[in-house]
């Protein structure tokens, strides 16, 4: 059964836009939780809870798209930017549009990102699996839905290839391919592909500065010891961590600041996928019966 935006009812879209706008104008739009004391995130602003299925059912979006919405919105660094994206999500969805293909189209976009392709080609098995999974999603878009067995075969091949990969970035690319080896109707498939893509992005950013697991462990142990002995308890959060590192290991403190700078760059893959989804909305077909 197709997913028809707003159930082809303009009044549903207008109501959703008004609800979201009301929270934004009242400065009650938040990242988390979905609903608390009248403040709401992108889901809660519409249905006053974090029930993603209820959001999908009410507005006519595919559930596999809705389960990814939180993570896309949360990739924006400030509340105004997140709110702007949340508004665009509704604004750019045509009333009556058939959204059934959007998830597979978004997954194809993620599987064809140059950064992923470059790493996937570092292992023949991962690249073969990537191409096979692309072919299955394209078949689905043509109305020839592959059987469950077909998805399982390529998924197992992707898992095997990922396990064999020695390079950490190639192995991370393999997990993205694995995550995509499900039909677009699977509830968390887009959420999972985005998550794996985000981990690849993080691994790339950390590799750029040579940040190691040993350094991460050192920071953890300094923080853990401070919790035990109460050092610098007058500080909190990153201020405390940086104060401890400056006192105990200035060189590590400098490296940790580099790590923080890299973390500021995170989220690009989510935002680029989010932008692609908005474009897909605007191009989604509107069946004649919905007009």
Over its length of 291 residues, how does the chain's per-residue pLDDT go in tens digits? 679 999 999 999 999 999 999 999 999 999 999 999 999 999 999 999 999 999 999 999 999 999 999 999 999 989 999 999 999 999 999 999 999 999 999 999 999 999 999 999 999 999 999 999 999 999 999 999 999 999 999 999 999 999 999 999 999 999 999 999 999 999 999 999 999 999 999 999 999 999 999 999 999 999 999 999 999 999 999 999 999 999 999 999 999 999 999 999 999 999 999 999 999 999 999 986 655
The model's pLDDT over 185-201, given as tens digits with 9 standing for 90+, comes to 999 999 999 999 999 99
Tell me which residue of 281, 279, 273, 283 sits closest to 72, measured CA to CA: 273
pTM of the model as a whole: 0.92
**What pLDDT is stored for residue 2 in this prediction?**
77
Report which secondary-structure segment, H or E, holds 40: strand 39-40
Q: What is the largest CA-CA distance in the chain?
A: 69
To 10 degrees, what angle do helices 250-263 and 237-248 make?
150
**What pLDDT is stored for residue 290 in this prediction?**
55
**Residues 211 and 157: beta-carbon distance below 8 Å:** no
In Å, how far are 31, 188, 246 from 191, measured between CA atoms? 17, 5, 38
Please, which residues have CB within 8 angstroms of residue 271's CB and are 6 or more apart in sequence? Answer: 72, 75, 76
Q: How far is the C-alpha of 97 from the C-alpha of 61, rounded, in Å? A: 10
Strand 35-36 and strand 39-40: the pairing is antiparallel
Q: How far is the C-alpha of 283 from the C-alpha of 228, rounded, in Å? A: 56
Pair of tokens at residue 274: 């989010």
Pair of tokens at residue 120: 């996937």
Tell me which residue of 231, 123, 242 sits closest to 174, measured CA to CA: 123
Pairs from 141-150 (Cβ < 8 Å, separation ≥ 24): 141/101, 141/104, 141/105, 145/183, 146/183
Burial of 220 (0-12, 13-18, 19+ CB in 10 A): exposed
**What pLDDT is stored for residue 287 in this prediction?**
87
């Amino acid at each position: 059964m197709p997913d028809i935006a707003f159930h082809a009812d303009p009044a549903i879209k207008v109501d959703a836009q008004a609800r979201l706008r009301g929270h934004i104008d009242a400065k009650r739009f938040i990242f988390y939780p979905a609903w608390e004391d009248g403040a709401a995130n992108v889901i809660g602003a519409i249905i006053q809870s974090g029930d993603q299925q209820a959001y999908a059912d009410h507005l006519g979006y595919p559930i596999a798209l809705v389960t990814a919405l939180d993570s896309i919105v949360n990739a924006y660094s400030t509340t105004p930017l997140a709110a702007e994206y949340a508004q665009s999500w509704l604004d750019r969805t045509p009333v009556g549009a058939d959204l059934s293909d959007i998830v597979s189209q978004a997954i194809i976009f993620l599987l064809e990102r140059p950064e992923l392709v470059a790493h996937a080609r570092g292992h023949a098995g991962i690249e073969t699996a990537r191409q096979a999974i692309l072919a299955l999603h394209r078949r689905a878009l043509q109305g020839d839905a592959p059987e469950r067995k077909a998805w399982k075969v390529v998924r197992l091949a992707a898992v095997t290839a990922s396990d064999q990969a020695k390079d950490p970035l190639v192995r991370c690319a393999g997990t993205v391919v694995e995550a995509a080896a499900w039909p677009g109707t699977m509830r968390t498939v887009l959420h999972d592909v985005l998550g794996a893509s985000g981990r690849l992005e993080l691994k790339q950013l950390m590799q750029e500065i040579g940040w190691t697991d040993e350094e991460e462990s050192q920071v953890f142990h300094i923080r853990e010891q401070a919790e035990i002995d109460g050092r610098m308890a007058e500080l909190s959060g990153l201020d405390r961590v940086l104060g401890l590192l400056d006192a105990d290991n200035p060189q590590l403190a400098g490296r940790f600041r580099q790590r923080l700078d890299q973390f500021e760059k995170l989220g690009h893959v989510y935002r680029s996928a989010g932008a692609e989804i908005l474009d897909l909305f605007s191009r989604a077909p509107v069946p004649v019966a919905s007009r």
